[in-house]
């Protein structure tokens, strides 16, 4: 009896905590489910922090759920801090963080650091890890790490995973290694629509338009039905090729299959027509869009700008503002290029102020566009101020500022800035455009020896001189009267000289009265550019100087026989944000009398100064 009693007491003493434990576990599970439910409803970081605090109080350890929500709310600093305090993140936690760094914030360097840390602590990346690793590698690009990761994928037998294969295609495409991308594509056994889209998009975005269109044909031959992404990529390729007929076929396909012309399809069609020069069709698509977002407006504005219709670009931008559509950085960059082309400084200044108000001025591309606009509108000091105030500069920023200084005759400043760029190390290495700008500075300053030095320096950076660089050197030598050296350089060129380069030499021959070289140039340039009146006039002057009147007259007669007329000079003036164009010899508007009166007053003011300058000079 005693034994039974003791046994019963023992059983009660051992089973009671177990019963309590079950109750506690059920209660804890219920609390956890409630907190996780509330976590999903959170719309701010503060609310997540409150849930986080309650989970800590109840000793509930659910870091991956919290991390996923924090990333969803796009709080970068909180996510990084939270992840760094997780004692031992598992594979799922690392995958969440790598994905967030890649897709939410585009912090590709940090994503790859996280990936390397994952491997360092002994965890094995899987098919959910690698797609985002490859996206990060392609975006930077990180070529070596991308190749190593590809080897790991092969070693771990993940090649058959479609998500991994598609991200590999994207990575190699962004790196410009289209051969590697195509090899991955060809090795996919069961291709789906995403497989085709990845490869077509890679070709299209990297400028391999012909290959994109051909692959689209292969896709249709295999009865794979294209979707919105396919059509957008192919339309981009059509624009790159200038293939208007095929682009129209794509629009017809959209109509026949009753595909909704949404923002992406609509903007792709407008862009295609714009690049093909068919602005009427682009405007038809634009006008037919019931809902026009900023992407649609940007497409139409870009179409006008690309085709040289700067006035229409600015007019449409003003209409966009009246419609209360807020421009983004792409809008501003395009409109600034239009302002630069026609010298619309007032509008450019307004965009500068708008960018400052909206926090867009810190963007490196907007800043570079502002530099270009101010420089081409003659306000080089404002351009320099923008350049100096930029927190981050890319190669295009340096190029724009160097070219601006060179164009405005501030050659020594341009050369100094170039040397400063070189001193920066590998961050912003000079490219072809940089050297064109610096050589132009040498041209304006007449620095022949420095020009030769910089021309030779190109090889040190793995750059082969192109026709633009030869043109600068020929122009430099021609202005210095070194016509023979200029002609020798032309003969050593890897390409045939163009009419611009030959025009510079012809002008120099006229200046130094070198008929021998001049005749060689004439023969080439008149065949290349038979409708340029300037070439005939200069040739006639060269012969006239040598008193070879028959050949001088023959040039003018030849010009007349071919119906070549002298192109009238043209200038613009901006008044109250409106740009007016004036042609030499053209008819003026109703304010002609007032304009001529003002011109006469200006002439009266400057004539004494001009006379004094001439007398002093003599």
**Three-state secondary structure of 552-589:** HHHHHHHHHHCCCCCCCCEEEEEECCEEEEEECCCCCC
The residue among 495, 494, 524 whose CA lies nearest residue 509 is 524
Fold adopted by 465-567 = 1.25.40
**Are 402 and 371 a contacting pair, CB within 8 Å?**
no
Which of helix, strand or coil describes residue 291? Answer: coil
Distance CA(520)–CA(501), nearest Å, equals: 13
Residue 424, pLDDT score: 79
Distance CA(267)–CA(264), nearest Å, equals: 5
Distance CA(555)–CA(573), nearest Å, equals: 36
* DSSP E strand boundaries for 270-348: none
* Sequence ranges of the domains in the chain: 25-80, 88-165, 191-291, 465-567
Do domains 191-291 and 465-567 share one topology? The answer is yes
Question: For the whole model, what pTM was predicted?
Answer: 0.77
Q: Rounded to 10 degrees, what is the CA torsion of 315, 316, 319, 324?
A: -130
Sign, Cα dihedral of 399, 404, 406, 412: negative
The two tokens of residue 372 are 């270009």
**Exposed e or buried b per residue across 410-426, where buried means at least 16 C-beta atoms within 10 angstroms of its C-beta:** bbebbbebbeebeeeee
Residue 550, pLDDT score: 66
- Output helix, strand, coil percentages for the chain, rounded to the nearest 5: 75, 0, 25
The two tokens of residue 75 are 């709080």
Query: Cα–Cα–Cα angle for 497, 501, 506, nearest 5°?
Result: 110
The two tokens of residue 177 are 């290694």
Distance CA(331)–CA(327), nearest Å, equals: 5
Helices (H), 100-190: 108-120, 130-139, 143-155, 162-174, 178-186
What are the residues facing 538 on neighbouring strands?
A: none
The two tokens of residue 395 are 């190669």
Residue 563, pLDDT score: 62
Which of helix, strand or coil describes residue 460? Answer: helix
Identify the DSSP state of 85.
Answer: T
**Are 224 and 190 a contacting pair, CB within 8 Å?**
no
Residue 71 CA, chain-centre distance (Å), reads: 28
Residue 8, pLDDT score: 38
Look at phi and psi of residue 223 and say left if phi exceeds 0, alpha if psi is from -120 to 50, else beta.
left
Question: What are the residues whose beta carbons fall under 8 Å from the beta carbon of 260, sequence distance 6 or more?
Answer: none
The two tokens of residue 263 are 């923002």
* DSSP E strand boundaries for 242-346: none
Fold adopted by 191-291 = 1.25.40
Query: Cα–Cα–Cα angle for 417, 422, 428, nearest 5°?
Result: 100
Q: Count other Cβ atoms within 10 Å, centred on residue 114.
A: 25
Question: What are the residues whose beta carbons fall under 8 Å from the beta carbon of 283, sequence distance 6 or more?
Answer: 300
Q: Count other Cβ atoms within 10 Å, centred on residue 507.
A: 18
Query: Cα–Cα–Cα angle for 493, 496, 497, nearest 5°?
Result: 85
Splitting the chain (618 residues) into consecutive groups of 10 residues, what average pLDDT does each group show? 37 40 73 87 94 88 94 95 95 98 97 98 98 98 97 95 98 98 97 98 97 97 96 97 96 95 97 98 97 98 97 97 97 98 96 96 96 97 96 94 95 96 79 96 94 95 90 89 90 79 78 79 68 61 63 67 59 63 61 75 72 42
Pairing between strand 570-575 and 578-583?
Answer: antiparallel
Identify the residue whose tokens are 């479609």.
Answer: 162
């Amino acid at each position: 009896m005693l034994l039974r009693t003791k046994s019963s007491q023992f059983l009660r003493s051992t089973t009671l905590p177990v019963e309590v434990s079950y109750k506690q576990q059920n209660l804890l599970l219920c609390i956890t489910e409630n907190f996780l439910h509330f976590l999903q409803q959170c719309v701010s970081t503060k609310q997540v922090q409150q849930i986080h605090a309650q989970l800590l109080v109840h000793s509930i350890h659910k870091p991956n759920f919290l991390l996923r929500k924090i990333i969803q709310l796009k709080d970068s600093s909180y996510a990084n801090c939270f992840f760094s305090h997780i004692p031992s993140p598992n594979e799922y936690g690392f995958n969440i963080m790598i994905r967030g760094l890649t897709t939410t914030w585009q912090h590709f360097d940090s994503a790859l650091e996280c990936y390397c840390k994952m491997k360092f602590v002994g965890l094995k990346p899987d098919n959910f890890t690698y797609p985002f690793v490859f996206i990060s590698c392609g975006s930077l690009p990180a070529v070596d790490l991308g190749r190593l990761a590809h080897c790991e994928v092969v070693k771990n037998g993940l090649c058959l995973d479609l998500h991994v294969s598609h991200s590999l295609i994207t990575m190699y495409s962004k790196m410009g290694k289209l051969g590697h991308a195509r090899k991955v594509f060809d090795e996919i056994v069961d291709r789906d629509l995403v497989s085709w889209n990845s490869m077509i998009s890679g070709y299209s975005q990297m400028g391999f338009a012909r290959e994109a269109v051909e692959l689209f044909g292969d896709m249709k031959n295999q009865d794979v039905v294209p979707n919105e992404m396919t059509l957008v990529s192919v339309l981009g390729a059509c624009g790159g090729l200038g293939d208007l007929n095929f682009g129209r076929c794509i629009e017809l396909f959209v109509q026949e299959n009753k595909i909704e012309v949404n923002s992406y399809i609509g903007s792709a069609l407008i862009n295609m027509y714009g690049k093909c020069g068919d602005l009427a069709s682009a405007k038809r698509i634009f006008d037919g869009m019931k809902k026009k977002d900023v992407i649609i407006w940007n497409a139409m504005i870009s179409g006008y700008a690309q085709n040289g219709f700067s006035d229409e670009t600015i007019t449409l931008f003003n209409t966009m503002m009246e419609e209360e559509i807020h421009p983004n950085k792409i809008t501003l960059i395009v409109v600034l290029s239009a302002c630069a082309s026609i010298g619309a400084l007032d509008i450019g200044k307004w965009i500068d102020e708008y960018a400052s108000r909206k926090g867009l001025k810190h963007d490196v591309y907007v800043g570079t566009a502002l530099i270009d606009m101010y420089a081409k509108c003659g306000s080089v000091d404002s351009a320099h101020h923008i350049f100096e105030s930029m927190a981050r500069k890319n190669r295009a920023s340096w190029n724009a500022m160097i070219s601006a200084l060179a164009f405005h005759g501030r050659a020594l400043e341009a050369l100094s800035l170039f040397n400063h760029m070189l001193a920066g190390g590998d961050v912003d290495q000079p490219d072809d455009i940089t050297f064109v700008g610096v050589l132009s500075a040498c041209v304006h300053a007449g620095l022949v020896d420095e020009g030769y030095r910089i021309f030779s320096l190109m090889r040190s950076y793995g750059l082969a001189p192109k026709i633009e660089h030869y043109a600068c050197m020929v122009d430099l030598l021609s202005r210095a009267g070194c016509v023979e050296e200029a002609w020798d350089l032309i003969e050593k060129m890897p390409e045939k000289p163009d009419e611009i380069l030959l025009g510079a030499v012809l002008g120099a021959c006229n200046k130094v009265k070198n008929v021998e070289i001049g005749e060689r140039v004439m023969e080439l340039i008149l065949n290349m550019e038979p409708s340029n009146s300037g070439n005939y006039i200069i040739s006639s002057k060269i012969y006239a100087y040598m008193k070879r009147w028959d050949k001088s007259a023959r040039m003018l007669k030849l010009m007349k026989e071919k119906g070549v007329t002298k192109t009238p000079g043209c200038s613009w003036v901006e008044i109250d944000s409106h740009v007016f164009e004036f042609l030499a010899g053209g008819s003026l508007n109703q304010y002609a009398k007032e304009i001529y009166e003002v011109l006469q007053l200006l002439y009266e003011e400057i004539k004494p100064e001009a006379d004094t300058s001439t007398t002093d000079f003599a």
